[in-house]
Amino acid sequence: MKHWFAKIAGAAGAALLCIAFAACTPSAGMGNARAELLESDGTRLVVRVTEGDMDKNLYDVLCIFEQNGEIAFDGTQSEYGFYLTSLNGVEADAENYWALYTTLGTLDGVSYSDASYGTWEYDGRTLASASYGVSGLPLVEGELYALIRTSVA
């Protein structure tokens, strides 16, 4: 009887630890893809992909985070993809916009970023200006994606 109780208590403790850890690092999952929200406020949002899926994109992750109540965003769909106009209640305007950076470089002959258009540093890594919008960046394991409120001037 003691061993049975110890196993139940151990499993319950492990489950609580997992729940506590997950609460500290919000994550989103879609099919095979998984991503975690590292930072999110009125000036930046940083996502790390923990399990990639080339059939999913950053927009898919943003939608899951929004459904979970972790972020809020708005924008418009066009023939070129999704154009982000607001993140966490902070609107793009004539003086500021939401710049997109990523560590994802060239993959399968496609260049997803270009450092000559700007870089942003995060946690010892350099993210380059994205060549595509949020709906054009595939989810690649280990890569970072950041939306940064940036001044036009």
Which tokens hold the place of 67?
Answer: 């459904």
DSSP-assigned states of every residue in 71-124 = --EEEEEETTEEEEEEETTEE--SSEEEEEEES--EETTEE-EEEEEEEEEETT
Give 29-65 pLDDT, tens digit per residue.
677 899 999 999 999 999 999 999 999 999 999 999 9
Among the four given CATH numbers 3.20.20.140, 1.20.120.1200, 3.10.100.10, 2.170.130.30, the one describing domain 2-151: 2.170.130.30
Domain boundaries, the chain: 2-151
> Given this model, what pLDDT does residue 27 score?
60
Rg (alpha carbons) of the chain, rounded to whole number:
18
> How high does pLDDT run on average in the chain?
85
> Given this model, what pLDDT does residue 19 score?
31
Q: Say how far residue 146 (Cα) sits from the centre of its chain.
A: 7
